[in-house]
Structure 1
Amino acid sequence: METITLPNSDLTGSRIALGTWAIGGWMWGGTDEKQSIDTVKSAVERGITTIDTAPVYGFGESETLVGKALKQHGLRDQVLLATKCGLNWTEDSAVYRDATQSRLTQEVEDSLRRLQTDRIDLYQLHWPDPTVEIDEVAHTLQTLKEQGKIRAVGVSNFSVDQMNAFNRVCPLSTIQPPYNLFERDIERDILPAARDANIGTLTYGALCRGLLSGKMREDTTFDGDDLRNNDPKFQKGRFEQYLKAVKRLDDYAREHYDKTVLELSLRWLLDQDGVSIALWGARRPDQLDPAGNVMGWSLDQNAKRDIDAILDDCITDPVGPEFMAPPTRND
C-alpha cells in the first residue's frame, strides 16, 4: 500500500483512506454494527491506515463504530484518524453549518469520547460557515492543536480564497474536496492552488456514490433515505449516460490493464498531480477486496487522454455534487 506524509505534520498514512459515511447509516439506508467494525478491522489489515469519519455521519454513529473497532482490536496507534467539525443538527435531523467557537470546542470533546481516543490526528472543518469569520475559525482550531487535542488541521469543501485565508492563520495539512472521474471541478483552481501552497488533498467521492463501482444497472433502486434518490446523476436521463461511461471505462480497463472500472477509477485518482489521499467508502469487508489491485501500476498520459475521450463521448449532460451542500445557520 502506498503511503504519504501530510504537509505541516508528522502524520503518515495510506494513500487510500477508508471513508465511513456509509457506516454511519444516515442517508445510506441504515447500518450494521458488527459488519461496520469488521470493515474497519479489514481495512487496517489490508494496509489502509487512513480512516476518515465525521460527527454528522449518522449523528455520531460512524465515529462511535470507528472508535469501537479501533479499541476492540487495539488498532488506534496504527492509523491516521481523521474526523471533522463545523456542522450541527436539529432534533429532526436537519443539518446546518455551525463553526462557532462554542460548537467547535464542544464537538472536539464529543468526537474524542466517541472515538475513544486522547487525540485526533487530522481535524477538518467540514464546510465553511459564512456566518463566522474564517480567521476566528482558524484561531479556534489552532488553539485545539496547541492544546494537543488535535495534531493537524484540514478544511473540506473550501474555495481557494477560503483555503488561503484559513492557511494564513492556521497552517493547513489538507483540503478535502469532491473529486472523481465524473466530478472534476477542482482541476481548474483548487488542485493547483493546493499544490502551490503545499497543502495536501484528501479527496472524497472516489467512486461517485457507487457509480464507478461497476455494479449498478439502469433498474438499480435505492432504499429509504439513501442520498442517491436526490442525486441528479441517478435520475432518468443522466443515469443512463453515466452508466454508459462506466461500461466503456470498464471495457477499457479490462482490455488495457486486466483491471475493473473500480480499480481504474482509484488508480486514476492517485495518479493525479496534487492528490495525496483518495477516500474510498465501504461498509462491508468484501468491498475492500480490490484494494491490492490498485497498487503497483499507473496510468500514462495517453491512457488519461483515452479516458477523457470516453467521458466526453458518453456524458452530454454532466452535473456536479452541489446537491450535497448543507444550508447555513439561521440566527
Structure 2
Amino acid sequence: MEYVKLGNSDLTVSRIGLGTWAMGGWMWGGTDEAQAIAAIHRALDLGINLIDTAPVYGFGLSEEIVGKALAERGRRDEVVIATKVGLEWDDRQRVWRNATRARIRQEIEDSLRRLRTDYIDLYQVHWPDPDTPIEETAEELHRLYKEGKIRAIGVSNYTPEQMEVWRQVAPLHSNQLQLNLFQAHLLDTAFAYCADHDIGTLTWGTLAHGLLTGKITADTTFPENDLRSRHPLFKGERSRQYLAAVERLKALAAEYGKTVAQLAVRWVLEQRGVSVALWGARRPQQLDEVEGAVGWALSAEDLARIRRILDETITDPVEPRKKQGPPARSELAAKTE
C-alpha cells in the first residue's frame, strides 16, 4: 500500500480508501451486514487505513456497520475514520442539506455513538448548504476540532470559491470530490485549488459506480432501487460508448498486466491534487484487485493514449450535472408548498 500525509493535517492515510456508501444499502439495492463487515476487515488486511462513511448511507446503517467491524477488529488508533455531516432526513427517506450549528452538534453525537468511538479522524461537510452561511458551518467544525472530537476538518463537493470563504475562518484539511476517467471536470478547478493550497483530497465515484470495473456489459440490468437504473452513464447510446471505451482501456491495462479497474484507479492517483482514491465495496471479493493498483505508474505516453481513447470513443459524454446531491431546505420547502 502507498501512504501520504493528508494535505496540511496530521493524518497519514492510505492512498486507497474504502468507500462504504453501498454498505448502507440505500440506493444500492439493499445490504448484507456480514459481507460488509468482512469487506472492512479485508480492507484493513490489505493496508487500507482510511474508511469513508456517512450518516445518510443507509440512514445510519453504514456507520453502524463500520463501528461494529472496527470494534470486532480492535486497534482503533490504526484506523482513520472519515465520516460526514450536514444532511438531514425524515421517515419518508427525503434528504436535504442542513449544516447549521444545531444540526452539526446533533450529528456528531449520533455518529460517535454509531461508530463506537470518542473521536472522528476526518469530519467532512457532505454538501455545501446554501441556506447556512459557510462561516457558521466552518466555525462549528473548528470548535469540534479544538475540543478534540475531530482530528481533521474536511468538506465535500465544495468549489474553490466556497473553500476560499471557509479558509478565512477555519482550517481546511481536505475536500472530497468526484473524479474518474469518465468524469474529470473538476481537475482544473477544485483539485487545482487544493493542490495550490496544500488541501488533501479524497475522490468519490473513482470507478464510475462500477462501470470501470469491467464487469458491466450491455446486458447488465439493475433493480429499480439501484441508482444505476436511472443514471445516464448506464442508459442508451451513451452507455454503449462508455462500454466501448472500457474495452479499449482493458486492452491497454493488459499491456501492464493489470485490469481496467486497476488502470482506472492508478490514473486517478496520478492526477495533480489527488491524495486518496476511494474504492467502494460491500463484499470482500470486490477488493481483490486493490493491491494491483499501487506500486507502479503509467507512462506519459500511455496517459496520452488514454486521453485519445476517451476522445475517440465517447463522442457524446454525459455532461456534469448542474445540480447534484440533495436539495437545500429552502428548495424542499418550495416543492411542498
TM-score by length of 2: 0.96
Contact 1:178–1:321 at 8 Å: present in 2 too?
A: no
Alpha-carbon distance between aligned partners in 1 of 2:188 and 2:274, rounded to the nearest angstrom: 14
Alpha-carbon shift at residue 258 of structure 1 (Å): 1.2
1:23 alignment counterpart? 23
Equivalent positions of 1:4-83 (< 5 A) are 4-83=4-83
2:132 alignment counterpart? 132
Contact 1:173–1:199 at 8 Å: present in 2 too?
A: yes
- Paired residue type of 1:185: H
- 3-state SS in 2 of match to 1:169: coil
2:263 alignment counterpart? 264
Alpha-carbon shift at residue 295 of structure 1 (Å): 1.6
- 3-state SS in 2 of match to 1:92: coil
- Paired residue type of 1:263: Q
1:166 alignment counterpart? 166
Contact 2:178–2:205 at 8 Å: present in 1 too?
A: yes
Contact 2:183–2:320 at 8 Å: present in 1 too?
A: yes
Alpha-carbon shift at residue 9 of structure 1 (Å): 2.0
Equivalent positions of 1:1-331 (< 5 A) are 1-254=1-254, 256-320=255-319, 322=321, 324-330=324-330
- 3-state SS in 1 of match to 2:296: coil
Alpha-carbon shift at residue 320 of structure 1 (Å): 4.5
Alpha-carbon shift at residue 321 of structure 1 (Å): 5.5
Alpha-carbon shift at residue 302 of structure 1 (Å): 1.0
Contact 1:8–1:152 at 8 Å: present in 2 too?
A: no
Alpha-carbon shift at residue 324 of structure 1 (Å): 4.3
- Paired residue type of 1:304: L
Alpha-carbon shift at residue 7 of structure 1 (Å): 2.5
Contact 2:7–2:201 at 8 Å: present in 1 too?
A: no
- Paired residue type of 2:285: D
- 3-state SS in 2 of match to 1:209: helix
Q: Residue deviations 1:47-83, cap 9 Å, x none?
A: 0111000000000000000000000111422211100
TM-score by length of 1: 0.98
- Paired residue type of 2:89: W
Alpha-carbon distance between aligned partners in 2 of 1:57 and 1:49, rounded to the nearest angstrom: 20
Contact 2:112–2:119 at 8 Å: present in 1 too?
A: yes
Alpha-carbon distance between aligned partners in 2 of 1:262 and 1:123, rounded to the nearest angstrom: 28
Alpha-carbon shift at residue 90 of structure 1 (Å): 1.5
Alpha-carbon shift at residue 224 of structure 1 (Å): 3.4
Q: State, as a whole percentage, how many aligned pairs show the same letter.
A: 54
- Paired residue type of 1:109: E
Contact 2:8–2:200 at 8 Å: present in 1 too?
A: no
In the TM superposition, structure 1's runs of 4+ consecutive aligned residues that sit over 2 Å from their partners are 320-324
Q: Residue deviations 1:272-324, cap 9 Å, x none?
A: 12110000100110111111111221012111110000001111111145374
Alpha-carbon distance between aligned partners in 2 of 1:51 and 1:204, rounded to the nearest angstrom: 12
- Paired residue type of 2:317: P
Structure 2: state its 5+ residue gaps. Answer: none
Alpha-carbon distance between aligned partners in 2 of 1:320 and 1:142, rounded to the nearest angstrom: 35
Contact 1:8–1:171 at 8 Å: present in 2 too?
A: no
Contact 1:24–1:30 at 8 Å: present in 2 too?
A: yes
Q: How many residues align?
A: 330
Structure 1: state its 5+ residue gaps. Answer: none
Alpha-carbon distance between aligned partners in 1 of 2:138 and 2:8, rounded to the nearest angstrom: 15
- 3-state SS in 1 of match to 2:168: helix
Alpha-carbon distance between aligned partners in 2 of 1:230 and 1:326, rounded to the nearest angstrom: 16
- 3-state SS in 2 of match to 1:309: helix
Alpha-carbon shift at residue 8 of structure 1 (Å): 2.9
Q: Residue deviations 1:175-231, cap 9 Å, x none?
A: 111000000011121111111111011111110000000000101111131111121
- Paired residue type of 2:234: F
Q: Which deviates more from structure 2 when the two are superposed, residues 164-173 or residues 14-23?
A: 164-173
- 3-state SS in 2 of match to 1:106: helix
Contact 1:86–1:104 at 8 Å: present in 2 too?
A: yes
Alpha-carbon distance between aligned partners in 2 of 1:138 and 1:296, rounded to the nearest angstrom: 37
Alpha-carbon distance between aligned partners in 1 of 2:50 and 2:22, rounded to the nearest angstrom: 16
Alpha-carbon distance between aligned partners in 1 of 2:146 and 2:81, rounded to the nearest angstrom: 18
Alpha-carbon shift at residue 325 of structure 1 (Å): 1.8
Alpha-carbon distance between aligned partners in 1 of 2:58 and 2:284, rounded to the nearest angstrom: 19
